[in-house]
Structure 1
Amino acid sequence: MIIDCIDKYELYQGLGDGVSKALEFLVSHDLEALSIGKHEIDGQCVYALVSEYETKPADSSFFERHELYVDVQYVVRGEESIGYAPLQDQVVVKPYHEEHDYALHSGNASFVNLCGGMFAIFFPGDLHMPGISDVPGSVRKIVVKVKA
């Protein structure tokens, strides 16, 4: 897992072509103007998912885990906490589904706050719980999926 501000994106260009394309997309587009939904960047190898939602409490959420894609999660507007834990012996709530590239787990998390202009990179196997806050709030986020 990596967390930083988008103005430091060049530090992470060495993480591979896909992550570089994801970060370049985030700094080169008007992210407020993008429509909600999927935007292809490099076919199914790199694509962006634009969403807007209300944050929710951690006790109503589970960890996500991916195996095929890296998540580059960028908060355009709003603020949320994201839970993180290394994959160990957490309880599997929903087994891995390859077609949708996710599984759900329960367990304890460490939380970090992300506000507009910040991003987090989650690698395959990193457990993450996005969209969390004790006080509900609106978030506009772009998740760029990068084929691992």
Structure 2
Amino acid sequence: MIMDKLEHICYYQRSVPELWDAVRFAQRVEKEHLPVGRYPVGKGFAFVQEGQTRGFTEADFETHNKYLDVQILIEGSEMWEYADKSDLTVRTPYDPEKDIEWLEGSGDKIRMKPGMFYLVYPTDAHKPCCHESTPVYYRKVVVKIRIDKLLHRVGTDSMGMNQRKISW
């Protein structure tokens, strides 16, 4: 998981060059006031979303195996919850057609402000568009970057990603 201000996106360019497509699209959304909907972007697609946040208990964690999620908050505010997929329990098994798996458990709550972004990988469970006590308005861009089109290699297996176990 990567989370930062958009002004620091250059720090991540070498890791995920496709982030530039996401940022350029978010700038276009702001400049042209693009309506809610789905749009082609770079090596994937994007959604412009807006609405009211929901309580954390009204949402489940989600993960994706075919796409990285880049979520950029444009207006309003939102909170989201993060957890490593291995620390959660599967609620609905992975659906390859919809590229989503639903999970239950708890993680770390994070507050987003306009001008911030986060990027999640297949092992990064996330619960977006939430609030702690009162619903608030948000407008955001969610860019889906195809993992198999990335310049760097991200493989998925039954654990989410091909990686070596690191012991401390």
Deviation digits for residues 26-48 of structure 1 (CA, Å, limit 9, x no counterpart): 34x24261121111123xx3211
Is 1:84–1:111's contact at 8 Å kept on the other side of the alignment? yes
Superposed displacement of residue 72, structure 1: 0.5
Which 10-residue stretch deviates more, 86-95 or 124-133? Answer: 86-95
Per the alignment, do residues 122 and 143 of structure 1 end up closer, same or farther by CA in structure 2, a change over 3 Å counting?
A: same
Query: What corresponds to 2:111 in structure 1?
Result: 113
Is 1:55–1:132's contact at 8 Å kept on the other side of the alignment? yes
Query: What corresponds to 1:144 in structure 2?
Result: 143
TM-score (norm 1): 0.91
Ranges of 4+ aligned residues in structure 1 off by more than 4 Å: none
Cα distance in 1 for partners of 2:101, 2:36 equals 24
Question: Which is strand-richer, 1 or 2?
Answer: 1
TM-score (norm 2): 0.81
Q: Between the two structures, name the one with larger relative contact order (CA 8 Å, sep ≥ 6).
A: 1
Percentage of identical aligned residues: 30
Residue 77 of structure 2 corresponds to residue 95 of structure 1 = no
Residue 134 of structure 2 corresponds to residue 135 of structure 1 = yes
Matches within 5 A, 1:1-16: 1-16=1-16
Equivalences, count: 145
Q: Unpaired runs of 5+ in structure 1?
A: none
Residue 39 of structure 2 aligns to which amino acid in structure 1?
A: H
SS, match of residue 39 in structure 1: strand
The structure with the larger Rg is: 2
Superposed displacement of residue 24, structure 1: 3.3
